[in-house]
A = this chain, B = another copy of it.
Amino acid sequence: MKSTIYDVARAAGVSIAAVSQVINGKGKISEERRAEIVRVMEQLNYKPSVIAAALTGKKTYTLGLLIPDISNPFFAEIARAVEDQVDFHGYSLVICSTDNKDERVERYLSLLQQKSVDGIIIGTGIDNKEMLDTLIAKSVPVAMIARELPGDAVLTVVVDDYAGGRLAARHLLDLGHTRMAVLSEHTKVSSSRERIRGFQDELTEAGLDLPEYMVKTSGRDLVKDGKRLASELLRYAERPTALFCCTDLLAIGALQAAKEMEVQVPTELSIVGFDNTILASVTDPSLTTIAQPMEQMGKLVVDLILDKQQESPPNGTKRMVLKPELVVRQSTGRPLL
């Protein structure tokens, strides 16, 4: 059976208050008593109940993490970074894969609330912004990672998606491409929108156009849809010589399509991904991609939501934007003339 604070108190011949004190290292107790109580606790293998403590107003030491899909390597890596930092502060992490479905988001948000988590980190799109307001009204800390909310007021850690889009475009322009296409996630994903906007702006400044039929939007299964959409693009009479994919997963789909249609990468088609997940380094050819500093991002949101910033980011900072980086591998090259 599980032993309670009462068991310990009884066995040590003291009051539960005394035991509570040594658990929390507060108050004043003589060294002897404390030692004896500690001894008894160990002997009984006593572990204070977080549940009971939480009920008295203390924290649950649990954070929730909402992401589209934990089996997506990008989010798995984000989750790992978050978990490490969360653990560092003595908290646990509840994982919630939403598949970007509003219904799931809603259910999870409600669930986490009922479980009185000490904060919710969101890395998935939120349509129904009301829900967040409800949370905030109940003073549940909320922070966004890798995704933004229209308004603000919510702690946010993102990479500069717009700059990332520009980086990708710049790279392709430098290589001499002029006919480019884009594979996007569902447009309700804020980061994708920004990436495309950046990509587009860079092209425009270079005097290039990005016609609408060169931009394809995917559904939930990134790899499969990426493959399907890329084949469509590759069937155009005037097919693109370069493809910017809003995530590595989409790029992998594109890679598969190219292979299947016997279109050489990068000779006949250059492909740029986004995220720099482990996948980018193992594909063939390996993937040129825009890297996000996932580890740093994870660490940052946690410190932010827990209000434990070590550094001196101007206190009260609500929004941190990190720099993306171009990682050139083998999937991009000069277009054939």
Interface set of A (CB-CB < 8 Å, partner B): 1-2, 45, 47-52, 54-55, 60-62, 69-73, 76-77, 79-80, 83-84, 92-97, 110-116, 134, 138-139, 223, 252, 255, 278-279, 282-285
User: Is B115's CB under 8 angstroms from A62's CB?
Assistant: yes
Given contacts A50-B116, A73-B73, A73-B278, 15 further A-B contacts (CB under 8 A): A49-B55, A49-B114, A49-B116, A51-B60, A70-B76, A72-B76, A92-B94, A92-B112, A94-B94, A223-B278, A278-B279, A279-B279, A282-B283, A283-B283, A284-B285
Q: How many copies does the complex hold?
A: 2
Q: For A80, list chain B residues within 8 Å (CB).
A: 69-71, 97
- 10 A/B residue pairs, CB under 8 Å, sorted by A: A1-B138, A45-B134, A47-B110, A55-B55, A60-B115, A69-B80, A79-B95, A83-B96, A279-B282, A284-B285
Known: A45-B134, A92-B94, A96-B92. A115 touches B77 (CB 8 A): no
In the complex, the 7 A-B pairs of residues with the closest C-beta atoms, listed nearest first: A284-B284, A71-B80, A76-B76, A71-B77, A50-B115, A50-B114, A95-B95
Q: For A96, list chain B residues within 8 Å (CB).
A: 83, 92
What is the CA–CA distance of A71 and B277 in the complex, to the nearest angstrom? 10
What is the CA–CA distance of A47 and B50 in the complex, to the nearest angstrom? 20
User: Is B97's CB under 8 angstroms from A83's CB?
Assistant: yes
Q: Which of B45, B50, B93 contacts A95 (CB 8 A)?
A: B93
Q: Which of A60, A138, A279, A284: most chain B Cβ within 10 A?
A: A284
What is the CA–CA distance of A93 and B285 in the complex, to the nearest angstrom? 37
Q: Which of B51, B84, B111 contacts A51 (CB 8 A)?
A: B51
